[in-house]
Amino acid sequence: MQRTSYNRRDSRGLFLSMTGLENEAALEGLRDSLREQFQLNKKKLISLCSGSGCGAYGTARVHEALVQELARQGIQDEVEVKLTGCHGFCEKGPIMVLHPEGIFYAQVKEEHIPEIVERTIKGGELVNSLLFKDPATKKKIIHEKDIPFYRLQQRVIFGNNGIIDPTSIEDYIAVGGYKALEKALFDMTPGEIIEEVKKSALRGRGGGGFPTGVKWESCRRHEGKRYTICNADEGDPGAYMDRSLLEGNPHSIIEGMTIGAVAIGSHEGFVYVRHEYPLAVKNLSIALERAKGLGLLGKDILGSGFDFEIHVSRGGGAFVCGESTALMASLEGRPGRPRAKYIHTVERGFHQGPSNLNNVETWANVPVIINNGADWFSSIGTQGSKGTKIFSLVGKVVNTGLVEVPMGTTLRTIIFDSGGGIPKKKKFKAVQTGGPSGGCIPEQFLDTGVDFDELAKVGSIMGSGGMIVMDQDTCMVDMARYFLDFLKEESCGQCNPCREGIKQMLEILTRICQGNGRERDIQLLEELGKMVQGFSLCGLGTSAPNPVLTTIRYFRDEYETPIRDKKCPAGVCKPLFHYRIDDGACTGCRLCALKCPQEAITGEKRQPHQLDQEKCIKCGICYDACKFEAVLIV
């Protein structure tokens, strides 16, 4: 088959011209020619994170300033500047890593560029003010691999994000990309591919944890036009693992889907992605174009005779479309509403054809398994949960970002070692895993290994991998109310248990937070929760009560106190507390008075102050500002 010419500019603006690859030998020849160019230990490379997080902090301005400064200094041909995907340590953006040394600079701004070029790139010295400072030891750390946030991670899926340009298919090929597809096309039968994935014990990373190989086998067994679908409708508050993979390494998802298509006998695929992910859509679309141009997608892939096309479909932002049947309904142009799964989607799904759906992270694992083997993959993780998992670590934790660790790593390790613990020396209270439908896990279970089975034992779920950390100042009733409010709005309203049950539970929680709780409310919440779990149509409803039931289970006193004493122990529910200034502790420093937006605090300097309850709006600014613990919550 005749291949068309393929042209693009590389990250330095040099024009490349390549012809589509006709066979596996042509791909291997291209990889050999690219590999040496890519060796990180043989060239000066500046890697700039350009994921959505760092981009919001100003990566584009840093990149422009860097390119201009290198040109001004006349060394633009000696140093390659590469815009990469997300590095994971999102709060430290924009992130810059200088190779081959692996020097890590955090929170880089355009005004830092002249000093970086002059001192580090030309002079071989460090810019100490940009080095990461360990909050625990107060020491500056030079290399990315030595930073606690990264040190304990095992970046099987996420590792290439920080070193490849997501718009460059050459970068992906140079680090071994599409080698697994070669193997699947020319060295394995569809049955052997499925057996290898089954042997690896890969479980779906989208939340349910269903064995991937078993799903593929079932889909291939059913007759009809088969479809391969990627669920990138990542709707959990605080979760952005799939977004970062699509933004930073889209070819890994394309390769995984194509291998899956070979295995099940599918010739058409779809990536259903959130409308709110414009950069992910942009980079994925570029990657699809590049792969098709090189003959790695489309008709007669690498001369194998196998055809496969992938289309991108943007969702409208409905959380419920993360559910497989609702997603497929939306993909067909119908309202995104789930259906009962008396007949599974692997038998009749999209357009009534056998449909295999996995999420972004699951597809990204497939090339790794084919390249390294099922035995290697299954050596990582626990007995029932193999491989690594990317978690979105957010909330009241020192280091926020994306953490990839082996399954079975404890909550304590993730939160206190990689995450750096709780800010401002406050106490850990709970962590919610699995998104808005996940359970809240208290301190007593911090040594629980994080996998599908262990989380279920304590009343939570893996979900897509969100982790929201809470400290001593969190009101667990209010937290449950917040998540239930989100789920009420996102329910499709199709079935009574979910539509009415969540609404009733939310009304009870709101009543408790407002100081109008009744004695039977806790029992009623438990009864309603079990009903919603047992009779809802889809996973949104069956998991929605988790935040309420786990907070009642582990923090029952926080429900009983507002009902019995009309007080909020955490000082969060405004109708249930007020601030008071302790005359004995107040030094009259006036800091609280100066910061109060309502001018509710009065008093002479060096004299105890007074707080006017009529003017106070309970914003908490005075409480946070006081250095002498003189502002009390009562």
Tokens for 564, please give them: 């019995």
- The DSSP bridge partners found for residue 469 are 395, 431
With 0-12 CB in 10 A as exposed, 13-18 as middle and 19+ as buried, what is 259?
Answer: buried
Tokens for 65, please give them: 């300033």
CATH 3.40.50.11540 occupies which residues in the chain?
171-378
Quote the CA–CA distance of 554 and 438 in Å, as a whole number.
14
pLDDT tens for each residue of 555-584: 999 999 999 999 998 889 999 999 999 999
What integer is the mean pLDDT of 415-424?
94
Beta-strand relationship, 428-433 and 466-471: antiparallel
User: How high is the mean pLDDT of the chain?
Assistant: 92
Write down the pLDDT at residue 463: 84
Entry pTM? 0.92
For residue 2, CA distances in Å to 5, 23, 295 come to 10, 11, 10
Quote the CA–CA distance of 102 and 11 in Å, as a whole number.
20
**Does CATH number 3.30.360.10 belong to domain 388-471?**
no
Residue 317: which pLDDT band, with cuts at 50, 70 and 90? confident
Write down the pLDDT at residue 306: 97
Quote the CA–CA distance of 274 and 314 in Å, as a whole number.
6
Neighbours of 187 (CB within 10 A): 11
Write down the pLDDT at residue 1: 35
List the beta strands (DSSP E) in 512-627: 579-581, 601-602, 610-611
Residue 19: which pLDDT band, with cuts at 50, 70 and 90? low
Quote the CA–CA distance of 571 and 577 in Å, as a whole number.
6
Coil, helix or strand for 124?
coil
Write down the pLDDT at residue 35: 85
Just give the CATH number of 39-151. 3.40.30.10
pLDDT tens for each residue of 341-359: 888 999 999 999 999 999 9
Given a cut of 80, whether residue 80 has pLDDT beyond it is yes
With 0-12 CB in 10 A as exposed, 13-18 as middle and 19+ as buried, what is 142?
Answer: middle
Residue 218 phi/psi, 5-degree rounding, is -65, -40
CATH 1.20.1440.230 occupies which residues in the chain?
476-564
Instruction: Let me know how long the chain is.
Output: 634
If DSSP states are collapsed to H, E and C, what string results for 137-158?
A: CCCEECEHHHCHHHHCCCCCCC
Contact assessment for residue 428 and residue 440, using Cβ atoms and an 8 Å cutoff: no
H helices of 154-202, where? 169-174, 179-186, 190-200
What integer is the mean pLDDT of 392-420?
96
Residue 313 phi/psi, 5-degree rounding, is -125, 130
Look at domain 476-564 and name its CATH class: mainly alpha
Contact assessment for residue 43 and residue 80, using Cβ atoms and an 8 Å cutoff: yes
Beta-strand relationship, 440-442 and 428-433: antiparallel
For residue 435, CA distances in Å to 206, 377, 416, 500 come to 11, 26, 20, 21
Neighbours of 390 (CB within 10 A): 27
Contact assessment for residue 435 and residue 236, using Cβ atoms and an 8 Å cutoff: yes
Beta-strand relationship, 610-611 and 601-602: antiparallel
Residue burial 295-309, b: 16+ Cβ < 10 Å; e: rest: bbbbeebbbbebebe
Name which of 513, 484, 506, 475 is nearest 396 in CA terms.
475
Tokens for 18, please give them: 């390549």
Residue 340: which pLDDT band, with cuts at 50, 70 and 90? confident
Given a cut of 80, whether residue 478 has pLDDT beyond it is yes
Beta-strand relationship, 140-141 and 132-133: antiparallel
Quote the CA–CA distance of 361 and 363 in Å, as a whole number.
5
Name which of 112, 13, 132 is nearest 62 in CA terms.
112
What integer is the mean pLDDT of 18-46?
82
Just give the CATH number of 578-633. 3.30.70.20
Residue type, 467: M
Write down the pLDDT at residue 136: 85
Write down the pLDDT at residue 18: 54
- The DSSP bridge partners found for residue 98 are 46, 103
- For the chain, what percent of residues have pLDDT higher than 90? 83
> What's the maximum distance between 2 C-alpha atoms anywhere in the chain?
89
In the block, tokens 């926020």 appear at 400
Write down the pLDDT at residue 247: 96
Given a cut of 50, whether residue 589 has pLDDT beyond it is yes
CATH 3.40.30.10 occupies which residues in the chain?
39-151
For residue 323, CA distances in Å to 498, 537, 539 come to 14, 11, 7
Given a cut of 90, whether residue 208 has pLDDT beyond it is no
Residue 271: which pLDDT band, with cuts at 50, 70 and 90? very high
DSSP letter assigned to residue 538: S
Residue type, 441: I
Pick the CATH number of 171-378 from 3.40.50.11750, 3.20.20.70, 3.40.50.12780, 3.40.50.11540: 3.40.50.11540
Name which of 336, 342, 359 is nearest 491 in CA terms.
336
Contact assessment for residue 543 and residue 563, using Cβ atoms and an 8 Å cutoff: no
User: Crossing angle of helices 250-264/212-221, nearest 10°?
Assistant: 40
Identify the sign of the CA torsion 81, 82, 87, 90: positive
pLDDT tens for each residue of 131-149: 999 988 899 999 999 999 9
Coil, helix or strand for 550?
helix
pLDDT tens for each residue of 163-185: 999 999 999 999 999 999 999 99
Neighbours of 619 (CB within 10 A): 15
CATH 3.30.70.20 occupies which residues in the chain?
578-633
Write down the pLDDT at residue 38: 78
